[in-house]
Structures are given as structure tokens and as C-alpha cells.
Structure 1
Amino acid sequence: MALSRAHALWQGQSTLIEPHQGFTYAAGAGFRSPVGFGVTLMPLRHPYEAALQARSVAMTTGHPVVAGFGPGPAIFQENMLGRPYPSQLTAVREYVTVVRGLLGGGAIDFRGEYFGYRGILPPAVAPKVEIGLGVLRRGMARLAGEVADVAVTWLTPAAWLADTIMPALREGAKAAGRDMPRVAAMVPVALRRPDRTPAEQALASNAMHLQAPHYIDMLRKAGVGVTGKNTAADAAALVEGGAFVSGDVEQVLTGLKEFEQAGADEIILNLTGVYNLQGPDETTNELKSLLGALTGQKLR
């Protein structure tokens, strides 16, 4: 394959193949690259396990890892833990505190309202593990500015990133006296083809998100006309509102450029809709087309 501007693989939370195991399997098969988790869900693992898993992936791949975390939907928290976190931001702050402390190599002694740990993660030589937070709205973005290395967005239109997420990140970083975290924008995308519609691709990619209250709230605040009741219409609204990028190659590249102009340091191409409807071969070909266009090269 020709060189491209792609430099890392990212994986969101999966209930088919657990993402840490997937990346470790790929590394064992000889495919090693920097990776990112955007994001894994906190209720699935204690922060000690989260730190251990993230560092294990760094060691097995031999490359840096972005360990992105998020609390997940309230109903998921309730199903896993018996009740949602009464304070999402407090739970995330404590989780990150423990994970960062353990990855730092020293002993920690932390007791919070939701998470704590006393002890150490045995030292090891490993590539860097950065901590990411999934951000949709202003509160979590401000917290990410305070405590995260990377802010990871998903389904956020470029204008929402520029006008809401970026100012909140800067505000949080300033309050904490630290540099602003990098921004990794996960953008669901599909090329327009005669045999499919953008709305179909958007629905195949984001049906579950269109039923989640925190996504619905963010999208409405961003001016995307979702209802939370009619998923087909809501999927079309994602395309219309720029949360799902579609069109020919040039139109898609223009849409991705908007995220760069909004402040994204890294743009992650997510072709889940293509994969779910057209399969892995078509997904690979589509990704090659986009990466080739980004570099002016045709990938083989």
C-alpha cells in the first residue's frame, strides 16, 4: 500500500470483539500501528483494569496508545452498576485520576466517591499511553481540558466543535494551568453511490446513537433536527446537519476540511455504515479511495 496521511487505527467500544483484544490479535498477526480507543465505556472495567489493558496494548503493538474513556449512556450504567452515576463529571474525573496515577508508574492512594485505588501498577517499559475523554457537550469538554491528553468527539458537527467544544476545552485547560488537549474528531462518512443513499448509510452507522438521550441533546443543541422518535428521518437530519459526511470524493474531503478548520488535530474516518451494509471489501475500497485522495495517490 502506498504511504498515506493515515497513521493510526481507532476502535470504539464493541460488544462483538473486545477492542483491546482485537488490537492485540492484530499485533500478534504482525500488523502493528499506533491505536486509539474512542471510547471504551467505564462501567465495563475498574480503572486499574483500564490502565493495565491500555498499557498491555502499547506493549504488544510497540506503539503509542490513546486510551479514551466515557461513562456511556445512563441506562447502560444502570444495567451494569445498578444505578447511573449521580454525577457523570465527578465519576469521569475520578476514573481518570486513578488511571493516570497508575500509568505514571508510582504508588497511588486515592479514594473518591465512585472510584479509588491504593497500590501500584508494576513498572514496565512501554510506549506512551495518553488518556482521552469522549466529549459531546460543554461540561465534558471543559473537564477534558482540565484532565485529558486527547478530546475525542463523535457525531459532532464541525460548527459545534468550533463554537462549543473548542472554547470549553480552552476554558478547562486555562483553569487547570495546562496545555489544551489534542482533538481527535471521529467522523462517520460514506461516499455517495448510485445504489445507496446517505441517510441509509447514516442510519446503519448510528442507529443506536440516535436513541441515546445524550446524543439527541447534543445534536439538537448543535442545530441538527433529530427527534429521537423517527430514526429514518433523524438519520437524514444527520446528513443535512453535517454530523454524517457524505458525497463524492471532493465533497467528502471538503466536509473533512471543515473539521480541520474547526480545530481538530486528528480526523478519524469511520465507515461503519458502509461496513454494515456493503461489507468489508467495499469498506476497504472506499477507505483506499479517500486516503488516496488525501495524498493524491492511488492506493493498491
Structure 2
Amino acid sequence: MSTLPSLAVSLGFWQDRPPGEALDTARHADELGYGRLWIGEMATYDAFALATRIAAGTRLRLTVGPLAVAVRDPMLIARGAASVADLSGRPVDVAVGTSSPLVVSHWHGRPRERSATALRESVQALRPLLAGDKADFRGEVVTTRGYHLRLAPPGSELAVAAFGPAAVRTAARHADRMVLNLLTPASAAALVTAMREEAGKAGRTPPRVTAWVTAADAADPEAVDQVRRGVVGYLAAPGYAEMFTAAGFADLVAFARTRPHPKELLAAVPRALVAAVGLVGDDTEVKAQLAAYAAAGVEEVAVIPASVDGDPGGRATLERLRRIAG
């Protein structure tokens, strides 16, 4: 049994880079022999549209999401997955999550109350829809009746993005895969343990586990700065603040809670912090971090490569990780 997790790729959608570099990253992943690509949804491309374009030019197995369940209802998600599969002739999987208040409440103007219930009910409603069955689900938050796919059912694997106890429980009881993001191996281990306990209570085989992990060449200051910027918004966030404190960054978390200017906070983020939640270091350090995720129960690491002028689309980073992982 391998002591390292398998490697996949997740698109970074870095705010300081041209959106089209997402297509470059996908092409690099395919050419370098990665098997799976995760396609999230942020401020640029519609995830299903981007997946259709990528599917046409690569051999990658695609997972669309995590999609925010307060924004996309089960019928829209099932129809989107079936559309990608039909138009591309390729299998496509789906991931869902609760997303952030910024995306749900600010961008979309949707209520985010009872998000844990919405996540659980969305997964329960999605399963039969993805199989081609007629929808007949009446939950406390999610309701869908009467629709069934006119296209061939995609039979998608269903993943749940989890962090809090309710989402972990939903993943354990209803998903094929649990997705973790921006976590230390120690935090990942705690969530995997909790998930497996919940799956045991439900009499289910535990879902597989994927961790989204940023990666950057430690010798490239621009790349390291990019991943450092990516953690700034999490330092004082509930749950994440406690994780960073446990990882030895209590002073930085306390500083973040004073709400300093983002530039001041960014300047205070050490390389050690991004290395604690990412693949940032020399070959030995990166391999040790991958091994730590594997020991935590993570079966797949979806690499989010830094994309900078010296390495657009993150090709060199992806190539290096393939070499390190063997």
C-alpha cells in the first residue's frame, strides 16, 4: 500500500491572474498524466460551461464543484452534470457544499440560514436525480418534485465539502467522497476520524477523502506570496482560527482578529503557515507533507498550483509534484 495519496488537480482561479489560465492548468494536468480535475466555481466561469470546454480537449475525469447548495438547487445540478456528460461524451462527477457568506449572501443575495440542513437535503435529493429517477423530495429546506432528466443520467459520484460536524455527518451518511480544503494534516485526521465514526453508525462504507491543497515553489517569492494571499481571509474565520492556533500561529490569529489592513496581515503571514496547510518546501518537505495527509486518511490530494509569470498555469509545479510522488 502506498504511503502517499494519489494526486489530482484543482483549478486555482487566482484573482491576480487571467481567468483563461484555468484552461492552461487543465491542459498541463492532462499532459502530465493526472487523472482527475476538480472544477470549482468562483467569480469567473460557470463551472458546467468550463467543464464542457475542458472535457472536449482532455482525457481527465472531471468533478464539478463544490457547488453552493443555496445557489444551485438539485434539479439545476443534475441537469448541469447531465449536460456536460451528454455534450462531451465523458463521465462527470459532482461536489456540493455550503460555500461562504460572501458567495451566497453577498454575490447571490440568497439566505444562508439552515445551511447544514440544506446541504443534507440537497444530497438526498440529488442522488435519485443523477440516476435518472423522477424527483419526489420534500424536505424542510429543499423541495423538488416531478422533474427527471431527459438526457441520459450521468451516474455521477457525489462529493460533499465538509468542515463542521453537520457537513461531516452528511458526507459520512450520504456521499461517495468527502472533500476537505485548506487543512493541516492534523485537522484532516480529526475530520476523517469523525466521518468514519458517523459512517459506522450508519452502517455505510466510509466515503473516500480528497483534500484540496495549494502548492508553490518555495524558491519563487511570487508563487509563495500568491498562496499566502489565499490564506489571509481564513485566519480569523471560525474553525480555521482554532486550527491555525493549534498549529502554532496563535499570535498571528490574535493579530488577524484585530482586523488590520489586509496588506499588514499579509506581511505578517510566514512561509511556515502556508507550508502547514500546503505543499510549500523542498522535495523532502513536500513528500513528508503528502505522507502526513495519507496518514491522516486522505486518499487523494487535489493540488491547487500557484500560477505566476514564471510558471503560468502552474505546469512546473505540477510536474515537480508528479516527480516527488513517483
Question: Into which bin does the TM-score normalised by the smaller protein fall?
Answer: 0.7 to 0.9
Amino acid at match of 1:14: M
Gaps of 5+ in 1: 296-300
Q: Residue 107 in 1 paired to residue 142 in 2? A: no
Of the structure 1 ranges 255-264 and 53-62, higher mean CA displacement relative to structure 2 is found in 53-62
Unmatched 5+ stretches in structure 2:
1-27, 260-264
Q: Kindly tell me the number of residue pairs found equivalent between the two proteins.
A: 287
Single out whichever of 199-208 and 145-154 deviates more from structure 2: 199-208
Deviation at 1:280, TM superposition (A): 5.2
Q: Distance in 1 between matches of 2:98 and 2:247?
A: 21
> 1:7 Cα deviation (Å)?
0.8
Q: Does the CA-based 8 Å contact 1:70-1:133 persist in structure 2?
A: yes
Larger RCO, structure (CA 8 Å, separation 6 or more)? 2
**Cα-to-partner distance string for 1:201-240 (whole Å, 9 max, x where unaligned):** 3223334444644543554466654524434434646336
After TM superposition, the score normalised by the length of structure 2 is 0.77
Matched, 1:248 2:282: yes
Equivalent of residue 274 in structure 2, options 228, 239, 248: 239
Query: What's the counterpart of residue 229 of structure 2?
Result: 204
Q: Percent identity?
A: 29
Q: Shift of the alpha carbon at 1:246?
A: 0.8
> Is 1:286–2:317 an aligned residue pair?
yes
> Match for 1:192: what amino acid?
A
The change in CA–CA distance for 1:234 and 1:73 in structure 2 (over 3 A counts) is farther
Q: What's 1:298 paired with?
A: none
1:167 equivalenced with 2:193 (yes/no)? yes
Cα distance, 1:217–1:19 mapped onto 2, change above 3 Å:
farther
Residue of structure 2 equivalent to 1:95: 122
Distance in 2, matches of 1:212 and 1:91, equals 21
CA distances 1:257-281 after superposition (whole Å, capped 9, x unpaired): 211121111111111xx21x43653
- Determine whether 1:270 maps to 2:304: yes
Query: Any conservation in 2 of the 1:98–1:110 contact (CA below 8 Å)?
Result: yes
Separation in 2, partners of 1:117, 1:245 = 41
Q: Tell me, yes or no, if the aligned pair for 1:73 and 1:212 is still in contact at 8 Å.
A: no
CA RMSD of aligned residues (A): 2.8
Tell me if structure 1 keeps the 8 A contact 2:82–2:152: no
Distance 1:207 1:33, change over 3 A: same
**What CA deviation, in whole Å up to 9, does each residue of 1:160-211 have, x standing for no partner?**
111x111211122122221110101111111211x41775232233344446
Query: Could you tell me the TM-score, scaled by structure 1's length?
Result: 0.83
AA matched with 1:42? V
2:43 corresponds to: 15
Deviations 1:111-130 (A, max 9, x none): 22221100132254455311
